[in-house]
A and B are shown apart, each in its own frame.
Chain A
Amino acid sequence: MNLRPRSLVFSKLLLLLVLILPGCAAREGNSQLGAAEAEDFNDPFEDTNRAIFDFNQVVDRNVLVPVAKAYRTVLPDPVRDSLRDFLRNLRAPLIFVNNTLQGDFDLAGQTFARFTLNSTLGVGGLIDVAGRWGQLPYHEQDLGVTFGVWGIPEGPYLVVPVLGPSDPRDLVGQVGEGFGDPWNILVTGNPWTLYWIPYVRGGVSGIDQRSRYIETLADIERTSLDYYATIRSLYRQRRAALVRGERENLPPPASFSRNYGPGASVAVTTPPSRAAFVSEIPNASEVSRR
């Protein structure tokens, strides 16, 4: 086993400790905070998180956004889309594993079909043949969502340097994926031992994603009264929606009802007319399955 991913895991865990410890001390004196509200924000390390958030903003303004803008200017749209499709195709094995771990075998089959089509007809993933002509759109999926589907709680909100909003569940998921990604294992293992490749891949996909949200995020920042609080709420809701969406997608056992959030109990054995309606309504996840 090579050392690199292990040391990466270790450094991230160390980072987590560094994040949590000062936070514990910082929150101590702030006990006038309403208990209901503290629970609502789910942000016991807020002072530390805000400090890291400010740091990230400096990095974002001075490095990420200029690079993302240059990337968007230099590369024509089709080239950027092709690159994104290629990077997405590389994620297919992990997405497949996550679909399977979630018990969503239907979706796992779709992921497998996507990967096969795009890797062959789509020239190694450069063209999203399956999404564009095969009615098999890309869907995002990660280990953090899988943990959520399993019922593992998100834990306190965290802001990670450079990487941004997260929580222990998602952070562990990210580290686990970095560790388990077959391409990373392949290129960093013998005989290649090309440790820089996973970093370049991560960097490029980060810049590509940032380049797609330049105006949106700038707008949210400009109109917010408290940008940090807005991002925190958006992140936590989005992650919760992905987990909820996946849960709702799983084929439920007969006459089984589940709770989806506060006060909302959804009976899965709905009368036909209502079921017909519900089936027309897309779930909250990013991409529809049809």
Chain B
Amino acid sequence: MTRRSVLTATVVLILGALAPAILAAADPAAVINNLGNRALEVLGKNATPAQRVARFHELFREDFDVPGIARFVLGRYWKTATTEQQQEFIKLFEDYIALVYSSQLAAYSGETLKVTGSRADPQGAIVASEIIRPAGTPPVKVEWHLADQNGTYKIRDVAVDGISMAVTQRSEFASVIQRNGGQVQGLIAMLREKTASGLPR
């Protein structure tokens, strides 16, 4: 066996071992499957609310395009905000989302996420999935909108039964800003208050 063929074999072996990982990162459906599995850990029954929030933060940061979403939900007010306001908003928005969704997800029990298909989209990809609930209740249809960021997919939006979470958030934030005289600062103040209070029941 020549040295060269040994080298080739090694390269092939390494590539073979790495390929699934690379493919997984480039396959939008795998991203969602992976997210579903890890979300199960987040929702683990033994997790305290604080742990849930902390783990949700991790998931959100790893799998979601947080700056992109933050920009989208601020809509036309993104441009009117100062750089400091934008930075603070991104941080508060992340805290807010972690609080809101980790508490909402805590209500779920025993549901599973099943990816049912995926298709290309000008922005990246859309992955269709179903949250399978206990017998008798129809599954909830969830569409994940992913943006292709240099080969890795990041979630931009989640549509539940056709309702976009990003659009809902943008509409609410725009309303808050408008009712505060068009000032982004008003929204930031409310977000600060809401996230500092930890949304007590």
Among A181-189, A195-203, A217-225, the stretch in contact with B: A217-225
Q: Give A34 to B80 CA distance when docked, in angstroms.
A: 14
Instruction: List which A221-276 residues lie within 8 A (CB) of chain B.
Output: 222-226, 228-230, 232-234, 237-238, 240-242, 244-245, 274
- Whether A225 lies near B168 (C-beta < 8 A) is no
CA distance A234 to B117 in the complex (A): 25
| Interface residue total, chain A, C-beta cutoff 8 A | 40
**Does B14 have its Cβ within 8 Å of any Cβ on chain A?**
no
Say yes or no for B41: interface residue by CB 8 A criterion. no
Report the Cα distance A226→B194, complex, angstroms.
12
**Contact in complex: B175, A229 (CB < 8 Å):** yes
Interchain CB contact (< 8 A) of B162 among A132, A224, A228, A237 = A237
Instruction: Tell me if B163 counts as interface (CB < 8 A to partner A).
Output: yes
CB atoms of A230 and B172 under 8 A apart:
yes
Which residues of the partner chain B approach A241 to less than 8 Å between Cβ atoms? Answer: 161-163
Q: In the complex, are the beta carbons of A225 and B163 less than 8 A apart?
A: no
- Which one of A224, A226, A228, A242 has the highest number of Cβ atoms from chain B below 10 Å of its Cβ? A226
| Contact partners of A280 in chain B: CB under 8 A | 116-117, 128
- CB–CB A233/B173 < 8 A: no
A234 touches B107 (CB 8 A): no
CB of A229 within 8 A of CB of B141, answer no
Mark each residue of chain B from 131 to 145: 1 if its CB lies under 8 Å from any CB of chain A, else 0: 000001011010100
Q: Contact between A233 and B168 (Cβ–Cβ < 8 Å)?
A: yes
Chain A CB count within 10 A is highest, among B159, B162, B176, for B162
* Chain B positions 51-108 with a Cβ under 8 Å from a chain A Cβ: 76, 99-100, 103-104, 107
User: Could you give, for residues 60-78 of chain A, a 1 whenever the CB lies within 8 Å of some chain B CB and a 0 otherwise?
Assistant: 0000000000000000000
Q: Does B174 contact A (CB under 8 A)?
A: yes
16 further A-B contacts with Cβ under 8 Å, apart from A36-B76, A224-B172, A237-B162, are: A132-B136, A223-B99, A223-B103, A223-B194, A225-B173, A226-B172, A226-B175, A229-B172, A233-B171, A238-B161, A238-B163, A278-B117, A281-B119, A282-B128, A286-B138, A288-B141
> Can you report 18 A-B residue pairs in the complex whose CB atoms are below 8 A from each other?
A37-B76, A41-B175, A132-B136, A137-B138, A219-B104, A228-B175, A229-B176, A233-B167, A233-B171, A233-B172, A240-B162, A278-B117, A280-B128, A282-B130, A284-B143, A284-B159, A284-B162, A288-B141
Task: List residues of B whose CB falls within 8 A of some A CB.
Answer: 76, 99-100, 103-104, 107, 116-119, 128, 130, 136, 138-139, 141, 143, 159, 161-164, 167-168, 171-176, 178-179, 187, 190-191, 194, 199, 201
